[in-house]
Amino acid sequence: MPTNTRILLDNRPQGEASVSNFKIETVETPALAEGQVLVRHHYLSLDPYMRGRMNDTKSYAPPQPLGEVMIGGTVGEVVESRHPDYAPGDRVVGMGGWQQYSVVDASQPGVLRKVDTTRVPLSHYLGAVGMPGVTAWYGLVKIIEPKPGQTVTVSAASGAVGSAVGVLAKARGCRVVGIAGGPDKCAYVKHELGFDDCIDYREHKDGLSLAKALKQACPNGIDGHFENVGGMVLDAVMLRSNAFSRIAVCGMIAGYDGQPLPMANPALILVNRMRVEGFIVSEHMEVWPQALAELAELVGSGRFRPRETVAQGIESAPEAFLGLLKGRNFGKQLVKLI
């Protein structure tokens, strides 16, 4: 059996996360028991939710245990199998974590899924045709419920989730306005993803300034908003939201280091009879087949060309993860392991 280099959570962050919170080690891969498969990971997914799980605080999921492999999505290939449904060479997606190999009990439902790489590249099953894409689909379709001609905004618009929200909303006949950080990301959102407009939040010092830019970009107001950031961005969107608008709250990355995120105008929720709903996509597994089918068609047909930022080697994962939290990635953040 091969040796396996892996990254553990060594200690919990106090404020901002740092490389010193992680520990790298190399161990022997255990022999397989009946029903298990050995997966060699090709790519590791890095996602903002991982930062919240590093804290030992009450949340929608248990904290990442200390001294254990960091949780994370992976895609790769089966290299050895003692399960009848899997054979060496099968391409699979799972939650193998921050390591080169994983031993998976394939008899447990949902822990491993075969994927077809003839039309969709393997790495996209961690992004546009994976958890981030389904997250976008659920928040848009089930919470925002867009109608043709309505205006939908999305923060972190160039990221793995935000980009999918925009493409899916355009496919439903909406005017779509993104909010992203920097001219390069805004250009990508407009010219490659096909959003109608994109606002660079870095050009605005506060929510009022950003709200003025949104007024120009959204002359008919905002009917639906997909929130990944919180803070100033959410304040600005709420100032431009229409009566009976809907906000799908997916993430609050502005507060992941523990600082409070007060809302400037919460009374607008009542004044505009707004629907503000948070959600966790793993609690809605019933929509995954429908969502994945639509996303796979968009990517496979070339109508959605997701951007990826790829770090090389398992050792690069901590630095790449910290960069993701600072917005240094462009599109989906991955670590290539082979």
Q: Are residues 192 and 228 in the same domain?
A: yes
Its domain, for residue 111, covers 3-126+306-336
**Residue 29 domain flag:** yes
Question: Do 181 and 188 contact (CB within 8 A), yes or no?
Answer: no
Q: Count CA atoms within 13 Å of residue 16 on its CB side.
A: 11
Q: Are residues 174 and 111 in the same domain?
A: no
pLDDT at position 15 is 86
pLDDT at position 41 is 98
Please state, in angstroms and rounded to a whole number, the distance separating the CA atoms of residues 302 and 294: 13
pLDDT at position 110 is 87
Amino acid code (one letter) for 148: P
Identify the H or E element spanning 310: strand 308-312
* Main-chain phi, psi angles of 242, to 5 degrees: -80, 165
Residue found under tokens 């966790």: 280
Q: Are residues 264 and 146 in the same domain?
A: yes
Q: Are residues 112 and 207 in the same domain?
A: no
Q: What is the CATH number of the domain that holds 227?
A: 3.40.50.720
Q: Are residues 16 and 115 in the same domain?
A: yes
pLDDT at position 31 is 95
**Residue 66 domain flag:** yes
Helix (H, G, I), strand (E, B) or coil at 136: helix
What is the chain's pLDDT, residue by residue, as a tens digit (338 residues)?
899 999 999 999 998 999 999 999 999 999 999 999 999 999 999 998 999 899 988 777 789 999 999 999 999 999 999 999 999 999 999 999 999 999 999 999 889 999 999 999 999 999 999 999 999 999 999 999 999 999 999 999 999 999 999 999 999 999 999 999 999 999 999 999 999 999 999 999 999 999 999 999 999 999 999 999 999 999 999 999 999 999 999 998 887 777 788 899 999 999 999 999 999 999 999 999 999 999 999 999 999 999 999 999 999 999 999 999 998 999 999 999 99
**Residue 153 domain flag:** yes
DSSP 23-49: EEEEEEPPPPPTTEEEEEEEEEE--TH
**Partner residues linked to 112 by β-bridges:** 94
Domain termination site, one of 236, 266, 282: 282
Q: Are residues 189 and 315 in the same domain?
A: no
Please state, in angstroms and rounded to a whole number, the distance separating the CA atoms of residues 91 and 112: 10
**Residue 110 domain flag:** yes
E strands, 83-142, are 91-94, 101-105, 112-114
pTM beyond cutoff 0.85: yes
Please state, in angstroms and rounded to a whole number, the distance separating the CA atoms of residues 196 and 129: 23
Q: Are residues 163 and 276 in the same domain?
A: yes
Q: Are residues 151 and 277 in the same domain?
A: yes
Q: Are residues 30 and 64 in the same domain?
A: yes
Say how many C-beta atoms besides its own lie within 10 A of residue 27's C-beta. 12
Angle 161-162-165 (CA atoms, 0-180°, nearest 5)? Answer: 90
**Residue 297 domain flag:** no
pLDDT at position 93 is 97
Burial of 336 from C-beta contacts in 10 A (0-12 / 13-18 / 19+): middle
**Residue 301 domain flag:** no
Query: Considering all CA atoms of the chain, what is the largest pairwise distance in Å, rounded to the nearest integer?
Result: 63
Q: Are residues 143 and 277 in the same domain?
A: yes
Long-range contacts of 216-222 (CB under 8 A, 24+ apart): 217/177, 218/151, 218/153, 218/175, 218/177, 220/151, 220/175, 221/151, 221/245, 222/151, 222/152, 222/153, 222/177
Q: Are residues 10 and 33 in the same domain?
A: yes
**Residue 296 domain flag:** no
pLDDT at position 163 is 97
**Residue 295 domain flag:** no
Q: What is the CATH number of the domain that holds 49?
A: 3.90.180.10
Q: How many domains does the chain have?
A: 2
* Main-chain phi, psi angles of 332, to 5 degrees: -70, 130
Q: Are residues 160 and 209 in the same domain?
A: yes
